[in-house]
Amino acid sequence: MRVALVTGASSGIGRATAQRLSREGWRTLLVARRADRLQALAAELGNARAVPLDVTAEDAPARLRQAAEGEHALHLLVNNAGSARRASFEEGGTENVRSTMELNFDSVVRITEALLPLLRRSAPSAIVNVSSTAGRVAFAKQGAYSASKFALAGWSDSLHLEERPHGVHVGLVLPGFIATEGFPQEALMRSRRTRWAVSRPEKVADAIIAAGPGGKAERYVPRPYRLAPIARALLPGVWPRVA
């Protein structure tokens, strides 16, 4: 049986991904801080196990390695847990950058390091890192978030090349605006002109499957967002005015 570990699984993209994997017959390790939600989701899915923890905790990598080794295999790691605080550098300062990097980048690196030996032993296997369109282009008051997601995207690109000979595929998913519990995107959804720019967690889950078991290197959600980094590269003088 194929085994997946999904972080940030208690809601939004992580929950949708766990549900999608369950429908395809995967056993899923569900990771997030909210134990009650994880337990309810595990009961709903049936072939799933809740592993409640804070991914930034010092012992998180060791606890996840222990949980995965209890399954005797790990075929897919989805690094989805993350968050954002909208603030300028003047407002958020170094502390905002530090705390955002700790969750969105550092924890991913630490967890991946702990689980990589098991992923190699279970090869062919895959890692999917959920970055953001903001990991290729930056906007005002998203500096800390973009820094963490740029770092994740660059590290993922390198890891993709390094792990290919070991049978571990590394894919990257870059969502744009996604309507979730924490980010309902109400302002964008109210207007017909901007509604197209908002997608659903289920669409990101589809992209995660494509970038993991499907073997794709990179997926944007919604797909037209892939044009943003191209525009940024080709029109560097114009892009700041657009952004």
Q: What is the pLDDT of residues 93-122, one digit of tens each?
A: 999 999 999 999 999 999 999 999 999 999
Single-letter residue type at 214: G
User: Is 131 in the active site?
Assistant: yes
Measure the CA–CA gap between 28 and 10, rounded to whole angstroms.
13
Catalytic annotation, pick one of 131, 132, 148, 199: 131
Q: Using one digit for the tens of pLDDT, what is the confidence trace for 200-238?
A: 999 999 999 999 999 999 999 988 888 888 888 887 776
Four-CA torsion 160, 162, 166, 167, nearest 10 degrees: 10
Q: Which residues of the chain have pLDDT under 50?
A: none
Catalytic annotation, pick one of 145, 146, 156, 199: 145
Distance of CA 101 to the CA centre of its chain: 14
Q: With contact defined as beta carbons under 8 Å apart, do 30 and 49 qualify?
A: yes
User: Is 145 in the active site?
Assistant: yes
User: Is 10 in the active site?
Assistant: yes
- Strands of 64-183 (E only): list them: 76-79, 125-130, 168-175, 177-178
**Orientation angle between helical segments 89-101 and 143-163, nearest 10 degrees:** 30
Residues with Cβ < 8 Å from 235, sequence gap 6 or more?
Answer: none
Q: What is the pTM of this model?
A: 0.94
How much is the pLDDT for 179?
77
Torsional class of 147: left (φ above 0), alpha (ψ -120 to 50), beta (otherwise)? alpha
Catalytic annotation, pick one of 22, 122, 132, 149: 149
Residue linked to tokens 């109400």: 186
How much is the pLDDT for 241?
65
- What does DSSP assign to residue 136? T
How much is the pLDDT for 238?
66
Measure the CA–CA gap between 144 and 150, rounded to whole angstroms.
10
Domains (range + CATH), the chain: 3-242 (3.40.50.720)
How many CA atoms lie within 13 Å of 133's alpha carbon, on the beta-carbon side? 23
Phi, psi of 137 (to 5 degrees): -135, 145
